[in-house]
């Protein structure tokens, strides 16, 4: 007890001195509160309404360069989960004269509105909640104001509530109670629950502490925040009790029966005097070829004065580092929040191990060598992709990644059903199957979409086409995976005499052909029917009981013959027909048929038959749609690609003629959208086609040049709610094929900009966004089905640098649970696989 008291004394002595250096926050022209070392964003980023609470919205704190707090809003739960209700934000207004941001928050289901007003006060901001009408009776005790703090930045640090000391727990441990479910609270649990498991009661965490003054991390000046309230209690919760992606939550309940200003907090983030963000020295963690252009992009705090030079050091065989090159720093300029300069060390061509020094800051080492890119796709092909094979048991050494999932197959999704993963079944099933009827034969082949275990048909179409292109262009003989479709068994690092890409192509095609044959067209998705199952982490085989649902049985009852059960955990097939999706399937199946010929002739023939049928039917259905019907996510150019692939497969001239008829008008409108498809056609067409395509490639080169002026990295950077690695690798693939056919227009140097970006030369940090072989410092955590282990699946490519409005890029490497920046997808990773393949062919 005396030790704790002494520590309290020391902290109370130290804390005021750290606050003394804090600066006043002011409202800037980007409409957030700013001082050097702290930004307070007020509804610059809104709750999406798609996945609801994505931990990317509300009132947010960017503290010494890291977004450490978010979610500031009136919420209806003490520790909100992903599908909990979120408020709509109306009438966000800023007042530069009075230095105020005000927003109206509304829960439409309850006609409940509140106003949140934020203004500078002292060394921080005052947050006030106003009610024009008292909170609805059914929300009393549930409506409160929350602000959430990133666990990875606070665990094991001290917190003080009214002078009482404790530490933020590294592992989630705390007290809970159970409360009866009301109809209202069932909505918070999300859609369909697993049988009656979540309908009788629900878990409610109890606060770790309660008081009027909370000090977070007084032992870490970079993370020190003080929150006080004179009119209400502050409660501190650990949101990870209910969900691994939960944050630490500071919360105050709104009082019942009151109007006007009902709650006031003062939030004071500590700011270190004169703080400047450490330079981010961008390097390729994989390394560089001796003869390639080698440019490090260095990201600087706008208050930093750029140095005049940087240096390159070589590590000798004796371990001693020697400076071998000094180069001039060249300014690029401001890009959103930071200033950028460049260090060109292309003159260094000698093989060896190097690091860059900028001032006192040194990077980790990297290699200059002839073989640095040889293995960049191996981990993706050998590990990540086979682990995501659905309907198979997948083993690696002593580790079983997952058993055989979904042995029971799929049920027909009921008409007019909305789904928690943003899918919907239309007013009819569009199949011969009735609602909740078992659909035999769909539980074969296919790939998990991402960190979840559904089959997104749109993604799988692109995946299979990627495998077909890789096989046709490069004929890779790499064989490190045992695949037995009859046994439904995969074993990693065990050659079986068959090229792995060919087996992956077969596996994906099996599911697509099954959909076409059994449903008559392509499904939207094959996915979880139960939210409890959807957010499952771990072995996919344990999501369901593997037995088809039998409505004649009681809950958890198993039929006498052991072939069905009363558990409503079966996956659903969403089968609303889309002609554009069918046309994409026609494209993919035509390519797959061609690539599978000679390996699996029976599957190749079935794929070709379905391709022709889907093209014919999809074209007729599309023609009957209204002219202004939306193209949808996968719609642009679907029929163009279908005709090209069918022409290559069948050599029937009608397909070639239709391809060219459709292609040129689309390229005239937007050359970026279909240039890669147009380039794919060059080997199949005559010389006149190639010359007709030339001006479009020249126009694409203009786009490449514009990227050089748009950002310091020279690649297309995504600014949406999903970061842009997919966009970057697709750009890289197009550049490589453009260089193959038009080397006089598009140089291969642009392809190196893509590898530089992927492997570490990008904003925020310089870690490789791909967990690839050869990378000195890959990201340590990704979002995958093992994300709760704070680990990753080798070969994964992260979406990358997520942009937060109005000017902040981020990529957490200590917190995997934000999918928009850390989730690997089967579509993205196979796009990386084809880029890596064509890149290696381009630069060899």
The H or E element spanning position 367 is strand 366-368
Catalytic (active site) residue 823: yes
Q: Supply 175's token pair.
A: 């007290």
Catalytic (active site) residue 814: yes
Q: Which of 34, 126, 684, 814 is the catalytic position?
A: 814
What's the distance, Cα to Cα, between the start and end of the chain in Å?
Answer: 68
The H or E element spanning position 583 is helix 579-596
Burial of 436 (0-12, 13-18, 19+ CB in 10 A): middle
**Three-class HEC string of 532-579:** HHHCCCCCHHHCCCCCCECCCCCCCCECCCCCCECCCCCEEEECCCCH
Distance CA 750, CA 842 (A): 11
Place of tokens 């190196």: 752
CA quadruple 86, 92, 94, 99: dihedral sign: negative
Strands (E), 426-488: 438-439, 455-456, 481-484
Distance CA 804, CA 821 (A): 11
Residues 6+ apart with CB under 8 A from 581: 457, 458, 461, 521, 522, 524, 632, 634, 638
Helix, strand, coil shares of the chain, percent, nearest 5, are: 30, 25, 45
Q: Which residues pair with 680 in a beta bridge?
A: none
* Per-position b or e across 295-317, b if 16+ CB within 10 A of its CB: bbbbbbbeebeeeeebbbbbeee
Whether the bond between 806 and the residue before it is cis, its omega within 30 degrees of 0, is yes
Q: Supply 594's token pair.
A: 């061609």
Burial of 1 (0-12, 13-18, 19+ CB in 10 A): exposed
- For residue 614, CA distances in Å to 14, 513, 578, 694 come to 72, 11, 11, 32
DSSP 8-state code for residue 447:
B
- Region of 162 please: left (phi>0), alpha (psi -120 to 50) or beta: left
* Per-position b or e across 687-725, b if 16+ CB within 10 A of its CB: eebbeebeebbeebbeebeebeeebbbbbbbbeebbbbb
- For residue 293, CA distances in Å to 287, 343, 346, 347, 770 come to 12, 11, 5, 8, 21
Q: Supply 78's token pair.
A: 């003490």
Q: Which of 148, 268, 430, 823 is the catalytic position?
A: 823
Active site residues: 814, 823
């Amino acid at each position: 007890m005396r030790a704790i008291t002494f520590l309290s004394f020391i902290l109370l002595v130290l804390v005021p001195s750290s606050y003394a250096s804090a600066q006043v926050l002011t409202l800037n022209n980007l409409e957030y509160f700013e001082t050097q070392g702290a930004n307070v964003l007020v509804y610059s980023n809104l709750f999406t309404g798609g996945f609801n609470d994505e931990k990317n919205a509300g009132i947010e704190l960017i503290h010494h360069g890291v977004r450490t707090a978010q979610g500031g809003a009136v919420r209806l739960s003490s520790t909100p989960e992903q599908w909990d209700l979120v408020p709509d934000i109306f009438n966000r207004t800023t007042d530069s004269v009075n230095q105020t941001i005000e927003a109206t928050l509304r829960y439409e289901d309850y006609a409940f509105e509140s106003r949140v007003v934020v203004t500078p006060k002292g060394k921080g901001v005052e947050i006030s909640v106003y009610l024009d009408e008292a909170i609805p009776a059914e929300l009393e005790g549930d409506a409160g104001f929350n602000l959430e703090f990133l666990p990875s930045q606070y665990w094991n640090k001290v917190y003080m509530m009214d002078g009482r000391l404790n530490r933020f727990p590294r592992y989630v441990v705390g007290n809970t109670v159970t409360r009866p479910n009301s109809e209202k609270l069932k909505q918070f649990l999300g859609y369909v629950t697993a049988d009656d498991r979540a309908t009788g009661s629900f878990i409610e965490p109890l606060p770790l502490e309660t008081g009027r003054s909370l000090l977070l991390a007084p032992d870490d000046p970079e993370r020190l925040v003080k929150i006080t309230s004179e009119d209400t209690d502050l409660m501190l919760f650990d949101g990870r009790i209910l969900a691994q992606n939960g944050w630490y939550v500071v919360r105050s309940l709104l009082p019942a029966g009151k109007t006007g200003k009902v709650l006031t907090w003062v939030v004071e983030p500590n700011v270190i005097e004169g703080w400047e963000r450490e330079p981010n020295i961008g390097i390729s963690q994989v390394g560089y070829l001796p003869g390639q252009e080698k440019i490090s992009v260095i990201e600087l705090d706008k208050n930093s004065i750029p140095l005049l030079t940087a240096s390159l050091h070589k590590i000798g065989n004796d371990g001693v580092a020697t400076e071998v090159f000094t180069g001039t720093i060249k300014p690029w300029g401001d890009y959103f929040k930071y200033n950028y300069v460049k260090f060109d060390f292309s003159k260094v061509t000698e093989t060896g191990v190097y690091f860059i020094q900028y001032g006192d800051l040194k990077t980790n080492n990297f290699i200059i060598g002839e073989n640095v890119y040889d293995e960049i796709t191996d981990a993706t092909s050998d590990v990540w992709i086979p682990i995501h094979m659905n309907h198979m048991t997948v083993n690696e050494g002593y580790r079983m990644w997952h058993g055989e999932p979904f042995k029971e197959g799929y049920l027909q999704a009921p008409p007019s059903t909305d789904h928690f993963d943003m899918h919907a079944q239309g007013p009819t099933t569009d199949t011969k199957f009735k609602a909740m009827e078992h659909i035999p034969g769909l539980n074969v082949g296919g790939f998990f979409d991402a960190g979840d275990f559904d089959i997104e048909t749109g993604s799988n179409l692109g995946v299979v086409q990627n495998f077909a292109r890789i096989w046709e262009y490069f004929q890779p003989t790499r064989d490190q995976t045992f695949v037995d479709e009859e046994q439904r068994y995969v074993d990693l690092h065990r050659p079986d005499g068959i090229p792995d890409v060919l087996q992956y192509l077969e596996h994906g095609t099996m599911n697509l052909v099954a959909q076409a044959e059994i449903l008559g067209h392509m499904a939207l998705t094959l996915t979880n029917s139960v939210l409890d199952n959807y957010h499952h982490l771990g072995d996919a085989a344990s999501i369901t009981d593997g037995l088809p649902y039998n409505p004649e049985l009681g809950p958890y009852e198993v039929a006498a013959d052991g072939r069905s059960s009363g558990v409503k955990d079966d996956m659903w097939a969403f089968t609303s027909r889309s002609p554009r999706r069918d046309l994409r399937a026609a494209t993919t199946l035509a390519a797959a048929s061609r690539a599978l010929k000679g390996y699996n002739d029976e599957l190749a023939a079935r794929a070709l038959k379905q391709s022709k049928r889907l093209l014919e039917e999809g074209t007729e259905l599309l023609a009957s749609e209204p002219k202004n019907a939306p193209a949808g996510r996968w719609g642009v150019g679907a029929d163009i690609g279908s005709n090209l692939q069918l022409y290559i497969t069948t050599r029937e001239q009608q397909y070639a003629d239709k391809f060219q008829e459709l292609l040129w008008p689309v390229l005239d409108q937007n050359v970026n959208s279909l240039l890669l498809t147009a380039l794919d056609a060059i080997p199949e067409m005559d010389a006149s086609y190639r010359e007709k395509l030339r001006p479009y490639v020249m126009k694409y080169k203009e786009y490449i040049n514009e990227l050089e002026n748009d950002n310091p990295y020279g690649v297309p950077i995504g600014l949406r709610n999903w970061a842009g690695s997919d966009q970057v690798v697709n750009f890289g693939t197009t550049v490589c094929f453009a260089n193959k056919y038009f080397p006089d227009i598009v140089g291969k140097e642009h392809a190196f900009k893509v590898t530089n970006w992927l492997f570490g030369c990008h904003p925020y940090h310089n870690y490789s966004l791909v967990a690839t072989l050869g990378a000195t410092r890959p990201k340590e955590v990704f979002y995958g089905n093992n994300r709760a282990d704070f680990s990753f699946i080798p070969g994964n490519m992260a979406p990358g640098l997520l942009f937060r409005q109005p000017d902040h890029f981020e990529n957490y490497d200590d917190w995997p649970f934000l999918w928009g920046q850390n989730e690997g997808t089967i579509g993205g990773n196979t796009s990386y696989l084809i880029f890596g393949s064509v890149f290696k062919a381009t630069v060899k």
